[in-house]
Structure 1
Amino acid sequence: MSSMNPAVERQDAVPRHAGTNAASRSIADRLDITVTDRIESVEDIWRALEEEGTASVYQRYEWTRASLPTLEINENRSPFIVTGRLDGRPAFVLPLSVKGRVFRKLSWIGGSHVNFSMGLYSRELLQGVQPGDMTRIMQRVCRMVPGIGYVKLCCQPVEWRGHRNPMFDLPHQRAMNPAFMMTLDGGFEATLAHGNAKRKRKKYRQQCRIADEAGGWKFLVPRDAEGISRLLDIFIEQKSQRLRDKGITDIFGTRKAQRFLMNLALKSASMEEPLLQFYGLEIDGKVRAVFGGGVHQGHLSGYFSSISTDEFSAMSPGEMLLWLVVEKSCANGMTCFDLGGGDERYKRSWCNVEIGMFDVILPVNSMGYPLVLASRLMNWGKRVVRENPHTWWLVGMLRKLRKSVRVPGKQP
């Protein structure tokens, strides 16, 4: 995608007809919409909307900027950042990207690295948007770049921080997985009570005893380059081993993805609310579990985790580390802590909020219709399989079988 000039790639608001006033016109018609591939050119409006607190850490300006020369290039995506102003005031930023030459797809920046994909919206827009407005807005957006075949905006929360996602008004389907979150504003004891507090306490005491008898343990929260690099290397090693064993593609396996994580964590070292903070659990001198998450306005979002495959696996070092992270988050005054998408037992034992997730997959031109149909069917099939314990177990077995019959020497 060639470089754009924001002053050129622009659609002004629909002209007001005589006898009408601003209040009677729809929001979609009052918006001035601009598109750019240079994130620096929209930093002011982005940071203004970031302060409104209607998005997640994955939509923070610095998080997105760090992803452009790493994740986006790695996936051959070009930034397509859409901004909207409502009667001159910041209204939204849609951090999008374009991929493909013949069959061009419009999707979210960050791709599978983002647990919650969404735009940044002003409270004014969220309170004033009406049915049909987002359809007209997206129609205007798609006309601003030639050749877009279809739109695929997946992994969106139905609601976020008490605000309904305006894109939920577009034709959509339920996402493959819900997401899970715990509220922390009642303190650690109240957070424990979300699930079986007695069972969690008993298990934590057992874990501490095993770790003490093995030579002691440490809770690591590094803010220096050496400590961050150590946990990053261990995370990559642990994660890649686990995913290889399961026959699953490793999204953290590329050098660009690893450089992205390192850059985020180093940039966060001096931040009160880090874009990425590594946590580690060390037992008997070795790191047995790693957790990573970022913060936006008191909300900690879990990004990734890993555990070792050794004699300590049976004691669940990942769950012990999660206890410590939750405890520290409560002590630091965090209000929410999400564990991302995916329905797992440990998430339900800690979390008291289930976040509904949805996908928007829409054709833009005639070439996009078969791609949209195939994509919708694939997403539907994945969701059906994931929700059935028997078929999900079978998928796991098939992945392991595929891994075991790969040609020797071929990269996984």
Structure 2
Amino acid sequence: MANLDLTLPPPNDAQPCRPHQAIESPNMVRITVSLHLELDELEAEWRALDENSRNSLHQSFDWCVAWSRTHTHRFVVIRGACGQKPMFILPFAVERGLVRTARLIGSEHSNLNTGVFADLEPVPRVELVRALTDGMRQLRPFADVVRLERMPAKWRGVLNPFSALPGITHPNASFQLPLLHGMEATLTQLNAKRRRKKIRTSEKRLAEMGGYDYITARQSPQAHALLETFFQQKASRFAALGLPDVFSDAATRAFFHALVDRQTGGLFELDAIGLKGEYQGKIIAISGLLRKGDHVICQFGSIDDGVAADSSPGELLFYRTIERLCGEGVKLFDFGIGDQRYKRSWCTIKTSLRDIVVPLTPRGFLAASLYRAMTRAKRTVKANERAYAFLQRQRRRWQQGPGAED
């Protein structure tokens, strides 16, 4: 474990800070930054910080431990504390390649990254930034560059501690719907009449086939079975579009199964629409939900477009899920990252996200410059609908091989 001591002035002290000098004063705030290679040793205080509603579930202890036990990366955790009081935890996985890259654990499947923080009001912002950046520099023996991706500048009305660090806008935003007091009140934010009519049409078509069940699964073995059905549906969908299957990796699949088993606080559930009648038990829509307090993120979703596709089962599933959550104290339903038509039809909030890149070595400086350039290029292309559609068609042709048609 490596330690770095930063001596900070109190919030009202106008004197310049000398972070590497320990000055004896009862008004000084002393931050110690330490590195840890075992996640379990921080479990108690990590779970305590998880209680902060502004910390993303994607950096929660259960999420990170499930990832660490199904992947073979090196894992390094930065811990910041004032005396015995933990102030922040930043859990990193180091990915090896031409450049060693430290990313927040599970970033490739995260919809929202914030880090894990206590109430930081007593800490001067400039000194917090110094502590964070100096802490990340302690990763130099393990990584060439640090990438903090998909971070909001402000989340739920409060500035993210990383918002003062220089960053670039992520190519994709995320989309949210506030849940009010009941489904009727929630629908007043949208085109309520049209949406109710669409749901009635969906239910009428499914009634003609024998009806449907709305399923919520939090425990084994039902949740595991639905997860496997999701993987199958998603693989078929990606194949039809000529796109790579981001859930095909065995470690990724094992990770989501591990989340099902780590139900210490209602972390992960699967919702589904299942048919009755002739197609009894056939699952035609699935969503995976992550829940933390009054915030629910739709982690993923799929449909079986071979049966009852004209009944809009995905829309029906979202409707029934949001209706249920309105009665369970949830205040924010998060459709996650990515600009898609169905998200725009449901959501009233669009949250811009930022990427922060911290180079640690000469090789890391080159990688950081390349990453920023690629991110800006992606953002420019996605802002041009015609250019983006063209590139998507070319991508499908390349994935499908010679002779592929649009």
TM-score computed with the length of structure 1 as normaliser: 0.88
Range with greater deviation from structure 2 (86-95 or 145-154): 145-154
**Aligned ranges 1:57-206 → 2 under 5 Å:** 57-70=57-70, 72-73=71-72, 77-100=73-96, 103-123=99-119, 125-126=120-121, 128-131=123-126, 133-146=128-141, 148-206=143-201
Contact 2:267–2:290, Cα closer than 8 Å, also in 1: yes
SS in 2 for 1:93: strand
**2:285 maps to which of 285, 289, 306:** 289
Range with greater deviation from structure 2 (150-159 or 217-226): 217-226
Contact 2:140–2:360, Cα closer than 8 Å, also in 1: no
Q: Gaps spanning 5+ residues in structure 1: where?
A: 1-7, 408-412
Alpha-carbon offset, residue 120 of structure 1: 0.7
Question: Partner of 2:48 in structure 1?
Answer: 48
Deviation sequence 1:324-374 (CA, Å, 0-9, x none): 110111122211110101112221222222212000023222222221111
C-alpha change, 1:135 and 1:378, in structure 2 (3 Å) is: farther
Question: Partner of 1:276 in structure 2?
Answer: 268
C-alpha change, 1:147 and 1:301, in structure 2 (3 Å) is: closer
Q: Distance in 2 between matches of 1:304 and 1:404?
A: 24
Alpha-carbon offset, residue 297 of structure 1: 1.3
Contact 1:57–1:301, Cα closer than 8 Å, also in 2: no
Alpha-carbon offset, residue 146 of structure 1: 1.6
Contact 1:195–1:348, Cα closer than 8 Å, also in 2: no
Alpha-carbon offset, residue 100 of structure 1: 2.2
Question: Partner of 1:3 in structure 2?
Answer: none
Name the aligned partner's letter for residue 31 of structure 1: I
Alpha-carbon offset, residue 132 of structure 1: 6.0
Question: Partner of 1:238 in structure 2?
Answer: 233
Alpha-carbon offset, residue 176 of structure 1: 1.0
Alpha-carbon offset, residue 229 of structure 1: 2.4
C-alpha change, 1:17 and 1:263, in structure 2 (3 Å) is: closer
SS in 2 for 1:131: helix
Contact 1:142–1:148, Cα closer than 8 Å, also in 2: no
Alpha-carbon offset, residue 117 of structure 1: 1.5
Question: Partner of 2:5 in structure 1?
Answer: 12
Residue 22 (1) aligns with residue 31 (2): no
Alpha-carbon offset, residue 22 of structure 1: 3.2
Question: Partner of 1:404 in structure 2?
Answer: 400
Range with greater deviation from structure 2 (343-352 or 301-310): 343-352
Deviation sequence 1:251-290 (CA, Å, 0-9, x none): 211222222212211332xx5x421100111134211110
Residue 256 (1) aligns with residue 261 (2): no
Question: Partner of 1:392 in structure 2?
Answer: 388
C-alpha change, 1:42 and 1:18, in structure 2 (3 Å) is: closer
SS in 2 for 1:54: coil
**Aligned ranges 1:242-391 → 2 under 5 Å:** 242-268=237-263, 271=264, 273-283=265-275, 284-285=279-280, 286-391=282-387
Alpha-carbon offset, residue 58 of structure 1: 1.5
Name the aligned partner's letter for residue 22 of structure 1: N
Alpha-carbon offset, residue 56 of structure 1: 2.0
Range with greater deviation from structure 2 (204-213 or 154-163): 154-163
Q: Distance in 1 between matches of 2:204 and 2:60?
A: 40
Name the aligned partner's letter for residue 274 of structure 1: G
Q: Distance in 2 between matches of 1:369 and 1:224?
A: 46
Name the aligned partner's letter for residue 351 of structure 1: C
Q: Distance in 2 between matches of 1:384 and 1:204?
A: 36
C-alpha change, 1:316 and 1:33, in structure 2 (3 Å) is: same
Contact 2:56–2:115, Cα closer than 8 Å, also in 1: no
TM-score computed with the length of structure 2 as normaliser: 0.89
Question: Partner of 2:218 in structure 1?
Answer: 223
C-alpha change, 1:147 and 1:46, in structure 2 (3 Å) is: closer
Alpha-carbon offset, residue 311 of structure 1: 4.3
Q: Distance in 1 between matches of 2:121 and 2:90?
A: 14
Name the aligned partner's letter for residue 326 of structure 1: I
Alpha-carbon offset, residue 127 of structure 1: 5.8
Range with greater deviation from structure 2 (327-336 or 137-146): 137-146
SS in 1 for 2:111: coil
Q: Distance in 2 between matches of 1:372 and 1:221?
A: 43
Deviation sequence 1:14-45 (CA, Å, 0-9, x none): 4655575535x6xxxx2111111211111122
Q: What is the root-mean-square deviation in Å for CA atoms of aligned residues?
A: 2.2
Deviation sequence 1:150-190 (CA, Å, 0-9, x none): 22111112222332111111110001111111111332112
Alpha-carbon offset, residue 300 of structure 1: 0.8
Q: Distance in 2 between matches of 1:275 and 1:17?
A: 42
Count of aligned pairs between the two proteins = 388
C-alpha change, 1:33 and 1:210, in structure 2 (3 Å) is: same
